[in-house]
Amino acid sequence: MFHVNLPISEIFYSIQGEGSLSGVPSVFVRVSGCNLRCHWCDTPYALNVAQGKKQSIDNIVKQVLSYQCQHVVLTGGEPMMHPNIKPLCDAFQSHELHITIETSGSLFLPVTCSLMSISPKLSHSTPNSGELLSYAKQHEKNRINVEVLNKLINHYDYQLKFVIDGNEDLEEINQLLNQLDQFSGNKVMLMPQGIDKESLSITSPIVAELCKLTGFRYAPRLHVDLWGNTQGT
């Protein structure tokens, strides 16, 4: 049995709102702590490790299994900054669960994973005002790690999700893709930036047009459409 701990922000049952598994009922395990500070982060309550409650892997697995759901999503924060997600993923695999890990792709751990959902942070994510401004230099330094991105793409089934603020983001995406060893175009997804319905109503049409232009897939944010900016959904 596993007696190591992880700082957990919340565990809840919902539907996957983003990426190729959009609409699939899933149990979400949100780990506290993140190495980045995106200015538009929609889960600020999970940025710091101290914000989470330490839970044993046994307890986490017990809660996940109580929902009798085959899909579990490790999200954050940034799950890949916690070495103890390795035994957690092993425990999930022993119960034959489909494991999605949602990560920025800036850190690497050799974990067991069914789908690596990678969301590299573009330059518009860097804080430029407010209380997160003091993190700007650290965020800008750490937000892209091409070596880690290549490892993740080479070792896992993956999807690449890019949050889009406007048309100008496309050039930055193409520059990053050109630095990768390999990638499949049908695994690249463009997702509108917005933590509420009003914001998405502005960015979604822009992203749809970019998908038509590039052939990349449109990634909805179903949880925002259904419940807005509500914790635990």
Give the tens place of pLDDT for each residue, 52-66.
Answer: 999 999 999 999 999
- Sign for the CA dihedral angle at 76, 78, 80, 85 comes to negative
In this model, does residue 199 exceed pLDDT 90?
no
Cα separation, 115 vs 110, in Å, equals 13
Lowest mean pLDDT among 40-44, 45-49, 102-106, 226-230: 226-230
CATH-assigned architecture of domain 5-227: Alpha-Beta Barrel (3.20)
Residues 6+ apart with CB under 8 A from 164: 190, 191, 192, 193, 203, 206, 207, 210
> First vs last Cα of the chain: how many Å apart?
30
Structure tokens that stand for 84 in this block = 């103890």
Mean pLDDT score of the chain: 94
State the DSSP H helix or E strand holding residue 204, giving kind and residue range, or none if neither.
Answer: helix 197-214
Cα separation, 2 vs 70, in Å, equals 21
In this model, does residue 3 exceed pLDDT 80?
no
Looking at residues 98-108, what average pLDDT do you find? 98
Residue 66 is predicted with a pLDDT of 98
Looking at residues 99-117, what average pLDDT do you find? 98
Residue 130 is predicted with a pLDDT of 84
Residues 6+ apart with CB under 8 A from 212: none
Which DSSP state fits 82? -
For residue range 124-153, list pLDDT tens digits in order: 999 998 888 999 999 999 999 999 999 999
In our burial notation (b when 16+ CB lie closer than 10 A, e otherwise), range 62-75 reads ebbeeeebebbbbb
Residue 205: pLDDT band with limits 50, 70, 90: very high
Which DSSP state fits 132? G
DSSP character string of 91-123: HHHHTT-EEEEEE-SSS------SEEEE-PPPG
Q: What residue has token string 């990638």?
A: 183
Residues 6+ apart with CB under 8 A from 95: 61, 65
For residue range 59-92, list pLDDT tens digits in order: 999 999 999 999 999 999 999 999 999 999 999 9
Cα separation, 140 vs 137, in Å, equals 5
pTM above 0.85, yes or no: yes
